[in-house]
Amino acid sequence: MRSGRGLRGRDADSFCLDPHSDSSLALIPPPGSQPFFICINFDEKERFDPTQFQESIVQGLNQTGTDLEAVAKFLDASGAKLDYRRYAETLFDILVAGGMLAPGGTLSDDMTRTEFCLFTAQEDLETMQAYAQVFNKLIRRYKYLEKGFEEEIKKLLLFLKGFTESERNKLAMLTGILLANGNISASILNSLFNENLVKEGVSAAFAVKLFKSWINEKDINSVAAMLRKVGMDNRLLELFPANKRSCEHFSKYFTDAGLKELSDFARNQQSIGARKELPEGAPGADGPR
């Protein structure tokens, strides 16, 4: 059998790679010639194996501790050495929860974890603003992480039942700040309309904390504009189960929670929607009379 090495000129041009081969590449010869194989050791790092990546990030976070300026610098420098593009979900899981999350929101038992993450931080707006800056700096530095970060937030919202009340509160405050800063789109709120989250009241409680931090950073007009941009302005009532999905219940719930401006906005949206549904020319309908 001829070796694949040393092919020259016409011989080299006569052979091609077999695309259906696996661990070795079979060269297909011209008719009448014997086939031969070249074995290639594929690079191990092409396999998805986040273990080493996680250990590197966890070790760095353990060293920087609660100094978020140092955390931001560590993440900035590590992007040049570690594969953020491949392991974006792992990176964000660690920064939020301290380790890789299993389906449902629990931490994977067999993985290294850190105690220095969003979920173990102080539960106050100032700390959440500082964490938002860490994410903001990271995504500005590595723009390709933008989409993965938004997908991470969507996933985390679907995992809310797996988190403690304090963890949910921190995530809600952070999400509100990120929305205000324009780091993520308001379309992530779709995750809160998940039937199980809505039925157990998790979505509405989370929304209170989220909108409070959002409105604290911006005013209600800015919030309304972002909601309209993604068609969420008329869907807020879906935060409640069908038997409580009324403007009156929404208004009372959020007004009692200290969000009267959001209640007024939702009521106004419902009034506009009702007027649009009236037949043209009817009293109160939009359009020429």
State whether residue 40 is helix, strand or coil: coil
pLDDT at 25: 47
* 85 DSSP assignment: T
pLDDT at 284: 52
pLDDT at 269: 87
Total domains in the chain come to: 1
Do residues 131 and 153 make contact, with C-beta atoms less than 8 angstroms apart?
A: no
**Burial class for 164, CB neighbours closer than 10 Å (0-12, 13-18, 19+):** exposed
Angle in degrees, 0-180, between the axes of helices 125-141 and 68-78, rounded to the nearest 10: 20
pTM: 0.79
* 237 DSSP assignment: G
Of 2-16, 47-61, 80-94, the least confident: 2-16
On whether residue 232 sits in a domain, the answer given is: no
pLDDT at 275: 54
Q: Which long-range contacts (CB under 8 A, 24 or more apart) does 98-102 make?
A: 99/54, 99/58, 100/50, 100/54, 101/159
Angle in degrees, 0-180, between the axes of helices 260-277 and 202-217, rounded to the nearest 10: 110
Q: What are the pLDDT digits (tens) for 113-168?
A: 899 999 999 999 999 999 999 999 999 999 999 999 999 999 999 999 999 999 99
On whether residue 267 sits in a domain, the answer given is: no
E strand or H helix that includes residue 211:
helix 202-217
C-alpha triplet 40, 84, 148: angle, nearest 5°: 115
Rounded distance between C-alpha atoms, residue 29 and residue 255, angstroms: 78
On whether residue 35 sits in a domain, the answer given is: yes
| Residue-number span of the structural domain to which 38 is assigned | 9-42
Angle in degrees, 0-180, between the axes of helices 68-78 and 51-64, rounded to the nearest 10: 150
On whether residue 132 sits in a domain, the answer given is: no
Position of tokens 């491949």?
A: 86
